[in-house]
Structure 1
């Protein structure tokens, strides 16, 4: 009886010794398989053609490559505005035979925008996304529609007539001969100003006037004007916090200086 018990114990121990390595081998194989499956994801690289664009003037082009190659499969361009957490679909394109792709977007809203490219899962390979690409989007807007700061004797949302052509909205002196000025705060979010300086057609023959533009207290434009003179102008507003227009007119003969349809290029 004692001999039988000893034999059974020995057999059990041997079974454990045999099963141990087998169990370890199985566990190791499963772990390796899991790691391999986790690693099997698409790699997506992407670059943007411009990191600063203007609405209505530029097209954002995103070029890149998918690895492993997925010829004919679709990639998705996603975007989100600054401060947002959710991604929205912008457009889609097919991957070429060499694994490359080209995606395009035409922004319609100013502000900082982020893009990324998504390659959905397929052929047993997990989805992949590119790094996030940031683009600053600017837009031309009418200065006259902005909220004014300090102002006196200036209409900002009125129609001016120069050489029989109407310009709206324009900055025009209300009462000729009286001091006139208006200020706008830009908050360092704008880069350029474009406009036309002239005397309104209601100005009398022989009259004169002047327009002065100050940016953060520094004179950028000091333009004298006579009837029939039209001056096209552009001004750099990079890092400008505030601008101020001072319009000089005369009561006799009557002159009405005009800042015709001024536009500013801003990101917000």
Structure 2
């Protein structure tokens, strides 16, 4: 073996020996994160009426530390913190929210990082929120002989109502709900301006199907009737009144429960 060949073999042997003796560095271990479970008490809520309660557990327990309630409304991508609560000794918690606006939303719970543990999130909890809104605030469709007005019925004032304008003339009004509402709530009656002995009638239809019909007379009040308008696209109210004696028919303070 010549001197160059011998030198090359010696260098290769030394390099192989170094490779065998150099320790391999392990990848850094990923810090453990908090585990958060969550469950909402309801999936459908009415704004300003219902309270959404989110309950769950944090592991490890982290007693006395805080969890944060977050929500994302509609199509928004960002989450907003809207409340917090302390974790109990057994690791459980209760968070509450009373939504004030309608529309679909999601809730989740955040446990911030602490004591060497990374933050943890619960799964997202969908809740659909509905809200009562005055029907007269919505843009109406065809309207014949009916106008928004305040009316007196039994000496009680009802604002944001609908009333007929010309006695003895067929009257109607239509509203598009777009299948986004679930209930219609209203009072039906002849107003106090109607003559004694006068009469009338009201019929409520949804996409051509009759939901309710009532004869009306002075002193007859159909109070706070609630009708199911789930999956209704177009709502129509027909009113008739006698010309002599003259009558004024009213749909008093009608409201619809809608998600948007």
Which TM class, normalised by the smaller chain length?
Answer: over 0.9
In structure 2, do the counterparts of structure 1 residues 179 and 102 end up closer, same or farther at CA, with 3 Å as the change threshold?
A: same
1:133 aligns with 2:132: no
Aligned to 1:26: 24
Match of 1:184 among 175, 183, 186: 175
In structure 2, do the counterparts of structure 1 residues 17 and 68 end up closer, same or farther at CA, with 3 Å as the change threshold?
A: farther
1:63 aligns with 2:62: no
In structure 2, do the counterparts of structure 1 residues 209 and 119 end up closer, same or farther at CA, with 3 Å as the change threshold?
A: same
Give, in whole Å, the separation in 2 of the partners of 1:175 and 1:129: 62
Give, in whole Å, the separation in 1 of the partners of 2:232 and 2:21: 74
Aligned to 1:165: 156
Match of 1:248 among 240, 253, 260: 240
Give, in whole Å, the separation in 1 of the partners of 2:233 and 2:130: 17
Give, in whole Å, the separation in 2 of the partners of 1:108 and 1:18: 73
The alignment covers a number of residue pairs equal to 258
Using the size of structure 1 for normalisation, the TM-score is 0.91
Deviations 1:96-148 (A, max 9, x none): 12111111111011000111111111111111111111100000111111100
Structure 2 alignment gaps of length 5 or more: none
Aligned-pair CA distance for 1:55: 1.0
3-state SS, counterpart of residue 19 of structure 1 = helix
State which drifts further: 105-114 or 66-75.
66-75
Give, in whole Å, the separation in 2 of the partners of 1:173 and 1:228: 17
Using the size of structure 2 for normalisation, the TM-score is 0.93
Q: Whose helix fraction is larger, Structure 1's or Structure 2's?
A: 1
Aligned-pair CA distance for 1:194: 1.0
Aligned-pair CA distance for 1:16: 3.5
TM superposition outliers: structure 1 runs of 4+ over 2 Å: 5-10, 12-23
In structure 2, do the counterparts of structure 1 residues 94 and 203 end up closer, same or farther at CA, with 3 Å as the change threshold?
A: same
Give, in whole Å, the separation in 2 of the partners of 1:19 and 1:82: 61
1:37 aligns with 2:36: no
Aligned to 1:81: 73
Aligned-pair CA distance for 1:21: 3.9
3-state SS, counterpart of residue 144 of structure 1 = helix
Structure 1 alignment gaps of length 5 or more: none
- List aligned pairs for 1:106-255, cutoff 5 A: 106-156=98-148, 158-232=149-223, 233-255=225-247
